[in-house]
Structure 1
Amino acid sequence: MKNNIFHSPPALENEKIKLIPLEVHHSAALLEANDPEIWRFMFNEITTLEQMDQWVTTAVRLRDQQTALPFAVVLKEQNRIIGSTRLFEINLSQKSCELGSTWYSKENQRSFVNSSCKYLILRYCFEELGMMRVQLKTDERNLRSQKAIERLGAVKEGVLRKERILSGGYVRNAVLYSIIDEEWPAVKAGFALRDSKY
């Protein structure tokens, strides 16, 4: 039954943010939200509509292959797409997945947006999909991302050496984090505490 998530992917939302299934026609809105600096630590570097089209098409293809759920991030107050995030490496039989490929427009970084998105997706993973493990990876050089992941309550597991070659040829090391099912109640409580401060 859970395989239906790929054929009828969910929309996840709270009062400020809505995560909608990513579609090819979102490319132009994503390019408008884009800034080249966003891609510094990511696999691709996107500056043109053609590159964004390719990035979105690849994400949608992974959903068709039943290994990923990519989302466009909508700021509800403005009804505007401000970035993207996704679940991938989804293995329903092993109850595990990875949360990543996340980026937001520069003006929405270091705001409530990331916390809202992560909460919606993690709640979906643990409370609806019954996941045992959700992992997150980030470039070893990306200290801001590491701090953000650690603020979520994720546990640092180590460094994956020479984890991938980025589009510019740089060979990166990746820092690996995870949240497991028995940790979710404490992580969820941490979100509630942070949200009460907004």
Structure 2
Amino acid sequence: MLENEKIKLIPLEHHHSNALFEANHPEIWSFMLSEISTLDEMEQWVASAIQLREQEIALPFVVVLKEKNQIIGSTRLFDINLNQKSCELGSTWYRKYYQKSFVNSNCKYLILQYCFEELEMVRVQFKTDERNKRSQRAIERLGAVKEGVMRNERILPGGFVRNAVLYSIINKDWNSIKKGFAYRDSKYQ
């Protein structure tokens, strides 16, 4: 579990499916690799994420707002390669009310701190749909470096072939990015 005074990131479990489905909204899935519109689909999504954790290639979390003790979304590390000290951070979504709020920066800080200070990663990457400008702006606000566009990176549900924008933060960037988080936090208190 990762936490600060506002957010807890708890390892995803099957019993979280109902709360995640409550937080669900159709717009969340516009640029995601899945589309969730039923509780059964959410249960399958959760089961798949847990299976990846059991294979030791992903760490899926539920995002809990501590003030209300409420699950408001999910995020995960995946494509974890401990030998190469790299991973990807993504599959992040939040209840609509908490989008564009303090939640994303708090979650990303906790996970990035874990990656660079505990796991000693040398690279954490992010990919987002080229059409998802909101996500690109959020990743750029973190201080991640845009590395380019991966053409025809994936086929989404419904058959759309997407391009993905690739970003990264490397271990040499972390101290500067960490200071950026502290500065933003002090500005909004």
Letter in 1 for 2:8: K
Instruction: Give the aligned partner of residue 106 of structure 2.
Output: 116
Equivalent position of 2:16 in the other structure = 26
* Alignment of structure 1 residues 44-193 onto 2, 5 Å: 44-193=34-183
Relative to the length of structure 1, the TM-score reads 0.94
Distance of 1:189 and 1:47 partners within structure 2: 39
Q: Which AA in structure 1 matches 2:184?
A: R
Distance 2:70 2:87 in 1: 28
**What is the percentage of aligned positions where both structures have the same residue?**
75
1:98 aligned counterpart, secondary structure = strand
> Which residue of the partner structure matches residue 7 of structure 1?
none
Cα deviation digits, residues 62-102 of structure 1 (max 9, x gap): 00001000000000000000000000000001000000000
2:187 is paired with a residue whose SS is coil
* Structure 2 gaps, min length 5: none
4+ aligned runs moved over 6 Å, structure 1: none
Give the Cα–Cα distance (whole angstroms) in 2 for the partners of residues 168 and 124 of structure 1: 35
Would you say how many aligned residue pairs link Structure 1 and Structure 2?
188
C-alpha displacement at 1:13, in angstroms?
Answer: 0.2
CA distance in structure 1 between the partners assigned to 2:137 and 2:181 by the alignment: 15
Give SS of 1:131's match.
coil
- In structure 2, C-alpha distance between the alignment counterparts of 1:14 and 1:168, rounded to whole Å: 38
CA-based RMSD of the aligned residues comes to 0.4
- Match of 1:196, SS? helix
Q: CA deviation at 1:197?
A: 1.8
